[in-house]
Amino acid sequence: MQWSLLRPVGLVAAALVLTTIAASAEGGKSAGPSEFILVTQIVLLIAVGRGLGEIMQRIGQPSVIGELLAGILLGPSLFGWLWPEAQHAIFPKTPEQKAMIDGIAQFGILLLLLLTGMETDLKLVRKVGKAAIAISIAGILVPFACGFALGEFLPDALLPNPQARLVASLFMGTALSISSVKIVAVVVREMNFMRRNVGQIIVATAVIDDTIGWIIIAVIFSLASHGTLDIASVAKAVLGTLAFLAISFTIGRRLVSQLIRWANDNLVSSAAVITVILLLMSAMALITHLIGVHTVLGAFVAGILVGESPILTRQIDERLRGLISSFFMPVFFGLAGLSADLTVLRDPNLLMLTGLLVVIASVGKFGGAFVGGTVGGLNTRESLALASGMNARGSTEVIIATIGLSIGVLSQNLFTMIVTMAIVTTMAMPPMLRAALAKLPMTKEEEERLEREEFEKRGFVANLERPLLAVDESVNATFAAHIAGLIAGMRGLPITVLHVGKRAKERAKDQEKGRDEEESPEAVVKKAAETVSAHGDGDAGSVDVVTRARRAELGEAIADEARKGFDLLVIGIDKVAAAKDRFDRKVEDIAAKFEGPLAIVAAKGKHLKQPAPDALNILVPVSGSGVSKRGAEVAVALAQAGSGSLRVIYVATTRDKGAQRGASRGLSQEAGILKDASDLAARYDVDITTTLRANRAPEAAILREIETTDVDLVVMGVDRIQADHLSFGGVADAVLRQAKVSVLLISSGEARPTSTPKA
């Protein structure tokens, strides 16, 4: 462990020596701004910041502490004290040179706020509701009052403009009351408390603190820019901020989602979505600047809206976070550390004031959060954990202090004191929060909820983000649209309807012009989604439907759509099965170009006359295999989305025999698998009927169950088999061809080698 910690230190030292020698040589050549010096500064800040950040993470501290310490080590506090000539050569004070790196840092602030907004989960805030709001208000008021009082009694020498003490006091109050949601979330997630009740309240409270803090900072910025307490300017800033927030979270939310979706679906250049996100962030930052508040508010709100977009794929998310974390964060926080000169703390008075600042900040925030937790209904242990988590200032505090320094509200010494306070409180928070959370017992209700959420996390339906519906003009297309609408309506998923029939272009044009025919797939999808009752969040039942027409060969059109990140393809075309155990050529062409999961719909029986039924009576075969569990999950979701009944029948295949001997200890394999299906349905409050038909071939058992019950839809989880044509095995083929009721085949994403038939 010691050697692993020494290696980053060695790399940091080597980078420091080499860049110092090179920069010293370059510094003697030119007195003007130098690109070489700029690159040297960036290299040093990234190398030292990331190296120390690695060390901090290995000892249980946030990496941002390492990046801050990197700036302190490279600044006048250590490097400038030991070797002032070299430090001045690398980080000259000339305005031209300083402006180059400051420009990068200022844009970095916007990106950091974008990232903070993306990590802000408003659904979590809505979920914990009134408790988090009450706790947040108390947790802000107490430290704000302490910070304001401290600002009123600060010596004039610490203020850049003693005549504007009111603005400085308001700024100090805000600085002491805010928490770092990023640091809080990291520690809570690390402790596996993110889904615990108290963990959700802690993070939601930090989110509210952050949001209120940025709004207050934006208003203070307006005050500072006018120099005096101008009621008109304050009213303009407050009203402008409220109007901006109102528009952003209504019209703006939908506009951002549509822009990201349009970029993802239509632009072919690399990283097109990231480009659009950066442009959105910049535009919203400029809007907040124009209404007289700081650009950070616009970037923060943009991040919230981007994070809520259903088209923000994991790959795009990781790329954006990687750019910000690896480049902009070490540069910005390194520069913040450079601006803090800890040598001034050799003055006993300043050292005493810094200690007083740390104590007031900690006691004020801890006490306020503890009182808020008690008032909000938390017990003593939960309130202690909440108060411990809220005390971390972290990156948020440093950003605020940097803004205060840049607009002239803070002096250099006061900035150093606040950065020191941020480092001390942030380093103290993780061990305190870990100790507090480790002592919290789990209630039975909480344990059941966590088990359900953990199951959903591994589930298929719960992780769907973008279904694609490929349809023609047939009755089967209408039934497929109904099925897709029920699935999408469960979680308000955006869905794209791709017309692949002979009248594809005409049908798509009609939908784009608003001719919403009652029987069109788009109308059926929306109607089915609207019938879904709200479950959990408030997004259920509302879906965004986009219409697209096939403008190329069928396979090529599907391949073009598949590249846009769809995770389920629902196929609803007129003819599904062909002769000689083969699917229709169109189905095979569609499936061949889509590597993800498929849902192949075949309408039969009464669904030919009523393709959008009010209820579905579903039969799902289970065998204990992974694919049969996926089919059961989809069947349960369909049963929950609409009314009707759900029957589960156990069938055994050669492959499945003996595979589940460990299921439900104390029960037979068959009974254990049926119990698992019952437990799955119970998680979603769906009533089921179970059937065990022993000593029958799987297809015979399924067909017999269809004949003797009133089911009208069979949902089967199936595997693709590697072959020269689309195949799901003999059981699925027999049911698809011989059943007199509708069939829905839910396939896995990848084909597996052919072996034995399976259900």
What is the percentage of the chain residues whose pLDDT exceeds 90? 8
pLDDT at residue number 746: 92
Residues 574-583 have pLDDT tens digits of: 888 877 778 8
C-alpha to C-alpha distances, 389 to 135, 392, 593, nearest whole angstrom: 13, 6, 49
Mean pLDDT calculated for residue range 111-136: 74
For residue 721, give the H/E element and its range: strand 713-721
pLDDT band at residue 725, thresholds of 50, 70 and 90?
confident
Q: Give domain limits for the chain.
A: 1-93, 94-436, 450-578+585-595, 614-759
List the single range of 360-369, 649-658, 728-737 with lowest mean pLDDT: 649-658
Mean pLDDT calculated for residue range 696-702: 85
pLDDT at residue number 110: 85
Q: Reading across the β-sheet that carries 568-572, which strands appear in turn?
A: 545-549, 495-499, 467-471, 568-572, 598-602, 742-752, 713-721, 615-622, 643-650, 689-692
Does 496 have pLDDT greater than 70? yes
Most confident listed range (103-107, 345-349, 384-388, 604-608):
604-608
Does 27 have pLDDT greater than 60? no
- In three-state secondary structure terms, 249 is helix
CATH number of the domain at 94-436, out of 3.40.640.10, 1.10.760.10, 1.20.1530.20, 3.40.50.2020?
A: 1.20.1530.20
For residue 645, give the H/E element and its range: strand 643-650
pLDDT at residue number 512: 54
pLDDT at residue number 337: 80
pLDDT at residue number 713: 93
pLDDT at residue number 658: 44
Q: Which residues of 2-33 are buried (b: 16+ CB within 10 A; e: fewer)?
A: eeeeeebeeebeebbeebbebbbebbeeeeee
pLDDT at residue number 175: 81
Q: Shortest CA distance to 213 belongs to which of 437, 394, 479, 443?
A: 394
Does 677 have pLDDT greater than 80? no
What is the percentage of the chain residues whose pLDDT exceeds 70? 80
Phi, psi at residue 165, to the nearest 5°? -65, -35
More confident residue, 470 or 311: 470
Does 288 have pLDDT greater than 80? yes
Average pLDDT in the chain = 78
Residues 37-88 have pLDDT tens digits of: 888 889 999 999 889 988 988 887 778 788 888 888 888 888 888 888 888 8
Evaluate if pTM is beyond 0.85: no
pLDDT at residue number 602: 93
pLDDT at residue number 230: 60
Q: Which residues of 631-643 are buried (b: 16+ CB within 10 A; e: fewer)?
A: bbbbbbbbbbbbe
pLDDT at residue number 663: 41
- Alpha-carbon torsion 307, 312, 313, 317, what sign? negative
Residue 716 identity: M
Query: For the chain, how big is the Rg over CA atoms in Å?
Result: 31
450-578+585-595 matches 614-759 in fold: yes
pLDDT band at residue 518, thresholds of 50, 70 and 90?
low
Does 186 have pLDDT greater than 70? no
Residue 740 identity: K
Mean pLDDT calculated for residue range 707-728: 87
pLDDT at residue number 296: 77
Phi, psi at residue 611, to the nearest 5°? -75, -10
CATH superfamily of 450-578+585-595: HUPs (3.40.50.620)
What fold does the segment set 614-759 form as a domain?
A: Rossmann fold (3.40.50)
pLDDT at residue number 24: 54
DSSP state of 328: I
The CA distance from 752 to 759, in Å, is 14
Helix residue ranges per DSSP H, 34-118: 35-58, 63-74, 79-82, 84-90, 95-118
For residue 288, give the H/E element and its range: helix 272-290
- Whether the Cβ atoms of residue 660 and residue 669 lie closer than 8 Å to each other: yes
Does 675 have pLDDT greater than 80? no
Residues 539-555 have pLDDT tens digits of: 555 678 888 777 777 87
pLDDT at residue number 656: 45
DSSP state of 67: H
pLDDT at residue number 362: 87
pLDDT at residue number 604: 93
pLDDT at residue number 17: 56
pLDDT at residue number 664: 41
Mean pLDDT calculated for residue range 618-633: 84
- Calculate the CA dihedral of residues 497, 503, 509, 514 and round it to 10 degrees: -70
